[in-house]
Amino acid sequence: MISRRDFLNGCALSVAAGSAISPLEALAQGALNPYALPADYYPPTRQGLRGSHDGSFEAAHELQDGRKWNAVDAGDPVYDLVVVGGGISGLAAAYFYRKQHGPGARILVIENHDDFGGHAKRNEFWHDDRMYLVNGGTLNVEAPSQYSTISAGLLWELGIDRTRYFEKNRGMFSNYRDMGLKSSMFFDRETFGTDKLVVGWGDLPIRETVRHAPLDEQVKRDTVRLYESKENYLPDLDAAMTRKRLTHMSYRDYVVNVARCHPGVVQLFDADLMGWFVTGMDAIPAIYCRELGYPGFDGLNLEEISTDQLANEPGGQHGRENQERALEGDPDMYFPDGNATIARLLVRSLVPGSVPGSSMEDVITSRVDYSMLDREERGARIRLNSTAVNVAHTKNGQVQTTYVSDGKAMYVRSKGAVLACWNGIIPYICHEIPQAQKDALLFGVKSPLAYTGVLVSNWQSFMDAGISRVTVPGGFHASIGLQPMLEMGSYRTARSPDQPIVIRMGSYFAEPGLSRRDQHRVGQRKLLATTFDTFEHHIRDQLTRILGPTGFDDERDILGITVNRWPHGYAYSYNPLYDPEEWAYTTTADRPAVVGRQRIGRITIANSDAAASPHTDAAINEAYRAVAELGNG
């Protein structure tokens, strides 16, 4: 049996061995490449508290508190381009730059985490010599048919072939349903007075499920009424005014004050959209919920948005347009490690020899050689564990980037720089930016959330409960579910419940009652103050209470835990409850994202914040723009 203490450092798991080199070789390589990582460096298998892990953010926080560093020359040659941020946007910027300037372009990517990919991180578990993967952050290629020519083109160039992907994985999101497993809701005693799992919630008609819920009779009646309503709750308003009202009122307000339901009804929805907005229904516009198919709107006289509105905006829109239209075309694509696959493909292309193989299938199981990432002889280099603290033009028109690594400050010079890091840090590292632009960069607040992967030895308890996923309003983890069934080359997720699988659990840090941005600010502090022990306690407690009755035993079944905390998660997207309506519905130039991303001499700005869109295609599009703005110089 594995005791819970064993988890902290992942001792319970066997880790694939790194490639060995002789001490003499290591010495010679070290002299030539002082920044090269050791051959056994392999962060994807690290467990415990990952995501924004300890050691990754301290220098940035000290910078914000006013700390200054004396830097020495890193000793590198002058680069053509320095990219700050090794997420998908930063890696894509390096890719586009090299494409434009040729393979001889000298590029350095500086990244503060111990792994590349930004939010698109990979968690890799090993058990009995088998690899089990899960996304540590960025999950899906959402609405891939809506990707721009630039972002779809990049995925294609990297070898991502949608047709081939869907040949094997079209049933990915329906396999469990085909096995008879359903969605469910867990009512916990802290919130609802008693623990109760209601199977079929979300799949079966509400009349059938709500009667099993431990809810007040009035809440049950109002819930059914809301779902079945054909009433026009806003009879005095014409179609355009109805849309306006719904745009400026929260779904909570709508359900409680317009549809006159018991406040307990809203509680049933509060956990649903946490995965997108990281707030409850008090901070989500009613119109977004209508577009996403929430109940209570069928009887309204309501104007639709025009068909070309938002047509060229990245991502699945998350309620800004009708869900069917937003997701037209191929369904989402999910790789076993999420969009870390894209990051790995970018690195394979940028640093030849670092990621063995040649296809989107073999990249899934290939082991990255991190020792190759930062070598003098490579055109593109990726320097991990390094936080940029200053980016400034020199007198001779170059750009000097100072970064802190292991407490020491060093600088490199380049002909240009792309800041593909988060908007919130840019004003602190680039003092040349005018104040109005700094204010715009600081406008958005990224959302705090944690994605946890739990490797379990089997999922028989899910089978016996008849569920594949569960929503937990009021619970520490609001969403819990089995990883989708996938096949990519030699990698295949479990098909049989006696095989190990990774359970995905999401927790969201919100503060109801405040504006969306303030909810995120408070949530960031709460998340950073939450220890691994607290996460682990809730993982074990929730899984035991939900699945214990069907045989789940945390001591016996859990094989590994990786918590990915993202205090600075999704890019802030505009919300008409708090921001001007046009910011949410148009691409006007006065939006803070546009004001903030203006070029400063030889320094340009990428990353998904620059599009105010929490999507991978936004990150790629912005990288393309930022590189184009540097021109041919």
Q: List interacting residues with ligand FAD (CB under 6 A).
A: 60, 84-90, 110-113, 118-120, 137-140, 142, 387-388, 420-422, 425, 429, 449, 451, 566, 569-570, 607-608, 614-616, 619
Q: How far is the CB of 437 from ligand FAD (least distance, A)?
A: 17
Q: How far is the CB of 341 from ligand FAD (least distance, A)?
A: 12
**Which of 69, 86, 45, 107 minimizes the C-alpha distance to 384?**
86
- Residue (314 or 576) nearer to ligand FAD, CB: 314
Q: How many residues does the chain have?
A: 633
- State the amino acid at position 2 in one-letter form: I
Residue 295 contacts residue 586 (beta carbons within 8 Å):
no
- Residue (113 or 378) nearer to ligand FAD, CB: 113
CA distance 593 to 608: 9
- Residue (134 or 465) nearer to ligand FAD, CB: 134
Q: How far is the CB of 138 from ligand FAD (least distance, A)?
A: 4
- Residue (509 or 552) nearer to ligand FAD, CB: 509
3-state SS, 552-608, equals CCHHHHEEEEEEEEECCCCCCCCCCCCCCHHHHHCCCCCCHHHHHCCCECCEEECCH
Q: How far is the CB of 617 from ligand FAD (least distance, A)?
A: 7
Q: How far is the CB of 450 from ligand FAD (least distance, A)?
A: 8
CA distance 555 to 380: 45
- What are the beta bridge partners of residue 453? 504, 562
Q: How far is the CB of 448 from ligand FAD (least distance, A)?
A: 9
- Residue (201 or 570) nearer to ligand FAD, CB: 570
- Residue (471 or 616) nearer to ligand FAD, CB: 616
Q: How far is the CB of 85 from ligand FAD (least distance, A)?
A: 3
CA dist list (Å): 581 to 37, 247, 529, 587? 48, 8, 34, 11
Q: How far is the CB of 206 from ligand FAD (least distance, A)?
A: 28
- Residue (115 or 282) nearer to ligand FAD, CB: 115
Q: How far is the CB of 213 from ligand FAD (least distance, A)?
A: 29
Ramachandran quadrant class, 368 (left: phi over 0; alpha: psi -120 to 50; beta: rest): beta
What DSSP state is assigned to residue 181?
-
CA distance 146 to 152: 9
CA distance 269 to 277: 13
DSSP per position, 281-335: GGGSBHHHHHHTT-SS-TT---PPPPTTTTTT-SS--TTSS-HHHHT-SS--EE-
**Which of 188, 600, 143 minimizes the C-alpha distance to 397?**
600
Half-sphere exposure of 472 (CA within 13 A, CB side): 29
- What are the beta bridge partners of residue 410? 72, 403
- What are the beta bridge partners of residue 201? 204
Which residue has 């009879």 as its token pair? Answer: 235
3-state SS, 96-138, equals HHHHHHCCCCCEEEECCCCCCECCCCEEEEEECCEEEEEECCC
Residue 555 contacts residue 1 (beta carbons within 8 Å):
yes
- Residue (123 or 267) nearer to ligand FAD, CB: 123
- Residue (85 or 473) nearer to ligand FAD, CB: 85
Q: How far is the CB of 331 from ligand FAD (least distance, A)?
A: 13
Q: 546: which residues sit within 8 A by CB, 6+ positions away?
A: 186, 197, 465, 470, 472, 480, 552
Residue 349 contacts residue 96 (beta carbons within 8 Å):
no
Q: How far is the CB of 499 from ligand FAD (least distance, A)?
A: 25
CA distance 223 to 474: 18
Residue 286 contacts residue 250 (beta carbons within 8 Å):
yes
- Residue (188 or 313) nearer to ligand FAD, CB: 313
For residue 183, give the 3-state DSSP assignment: strand
State phi, psi for 519 to the nearest 5 degrees.
-60, -40
Q: How far is the CB of 119 from ligand FAD (least distance, A)?
A: 4
Which residue has 């080199």 as its token pair? Answer: 21
Q: How far is the CB of 193 from ligand FAD (least distance, A)?
A: 32
Q: How far is the CB of 593 from ligand FAD (least distance, A)?
A: 12
- Residue (425 or 480) nearer to ligand FAD, CB: 425
- Residue (426 or 577) nearer to ligand FAD, CB: 426
- Residue (112 or 209) nearer to ligand FAD, CB: 112
- Residue (266 or 350) nearer to ligand FAD, CB: 350
